[in-house]
Amino acid sequence: MRRKVIAGNWKMNMLPNEAMEMITTLEPLVKETKNEVILCVPFTDLFYCLNIAQGTNIKIGAQNMHFEEKGAYTGEISGKMLKSIGVEYVIIGHSERRQYFNETDETVNKKIKSAFANELKPIVCVGETLEQREAGNAFEVITSQTQKALDGLSDEQVINTIIAYEPIWAIGTGKTATSDDANEAIKKIREKICEIYGQNVSERVIIQYGGSMKPSNAKELLEMSDIDGGLIGGASLKAEDFSAIVNYDK
Ligand code: PGA
């Protein structure tokens, strides 16, 4: 049985004092869960969050990294830097980064390799636009993104990659994919992984759903056969909402 992984993506929100307050409130609400709990926070919150989450079951991740270890890349943060302060996870290839910061399948692949080289666990985002879905290309888009993202990784690395299926039209819009649609898309991603890496790998990869997941729809989504967790934006900013999603199975 695959575990459920519930990850928050704070995006460009939360000052350190707000971040610490949120985690302090969240901690007692999620301490009994068997599900994995991750918060991916802005760079400026990482140090504070790592400190306050120490000794709890809340794990801390970043939202991006550069693929080089160091050098003349003004404004960038490397995987090595993240690892050096104790970060465990890193989101790679979020659609907002692909859309606004020119991330490509190629840079996503390089970043994933660099994350593993620095012992970070990547949460890799794939997802189709509304146009692509309406044109009937959704599955082709997401399986191709997945294949290119994972290119050159070992079986072990693929097993340790978390994939987040996030239909772009569902992010921050209040529109959620139906649980059947989300499950079907995730099954296609798993089939592609099976085709390339075999069933032993594909059955073990965690594939989350992301896009307007909230307390009211989390249970239905997370109970689907192939949805192994959620990547949650808006609803991860409040401890009450995020804990309700983490505790969907209580
Ligand atoms: P949302 O964001 O939950 O606010 O739709 C999800 C994401 O972008 O990861």
Give CB contacts under 8 A, 24+ apart, made by 173-177: 173/211, 173/212, 174/212, 175/211, 175/212, 176/211, 176/212, 176/213, 176/217, 176/221, 177/209, 177/211
| CATH tag for 5-246 (out of 3.40.50.12780, 3.20.20.70, 3.30.70.1060, 3.40.630.10) | 3.20.20.70
Per-residue pLDDT reduced to its tens digit, 81-112:
999 999 999 999 999 999 999 999 999 999 99
Mutation probe of ligand 1 site: the residue of 176, 212, 236, 245 with most atoms within 8 A of C-beta = 212
Backbone angles phi, psi at 61, to 5 degrees: -130, 165
Higher pLDDT, 172 or 144: 144
Task: Specify whether 166 is catalytic.
Answer: yes
| φ and ψ of 69, to 5 deg | -80, -35
Kindly provide the residue ranges of all beta strands, DSSP E only, lying in the chain, ordered along the sequence.
Answer: 5-9, 36-40, 58-62, 89-92, 121-126, 162-165, 206-210, 229-232
How many C-beta atoms surround the C-beta of residue 139 within 10 A? 18
Ligand 1 neighbours, Cβ below 6 Å, are 9, 166, 171-172, 210-213, 231-235
Q: Which phi and psi angles does 129 have, rounded to 5°? A: -80, 170
* Closest among 98, 100, 102, 202 to 150, alpha carbons compared: 202
Report whether pLDDT(149) > 90: yes
Q: pLDDT tens for residues 112-142?
A: 999 999 999 999 999 999 999 999 999 999 9
Whether pLDDT at 174 is above 90: no
φ and ψ at residue 114, rounded to 5 degrees: -70, -35
Q: Which of 10, 12, 209, 232 to mutate to test the pocket of ligand 1 (most atoms within 8 A of CB)?
A: 232
CA distance 190 to 17: 40
Q: What is the DSSP letter of 66?
A: B
pLDDT, position 142: 98
Instruction: Kindly give the interhelix angle for 179-197 and 215-222, rounded to the nearest 10 degrees.
Output: 40
Residue 176 predicted with pLDDT over 90: no
Direct distance between the N- and C-terminal alpha carbons of the chain, in angstroms, rounded to an integer: 18
Q: How far is the CA of 160 from the centre of ligand 1 (A)?
A: 22
pLDDT in tens, 51-83: 999 999 999 999 999 999 999 999 999 999 999
Q: pLDDT tens across 205-232, in order?
A: 999 999 999 999 999 999 999 999 999 9
Q: Which two tokens stand for residue 170?
A: 């569902």
> 54: which residues sit within 8 A by CB, 6+ positions away?
none
| Cα distance between residue 216 and residue 198, in whole Å | 35
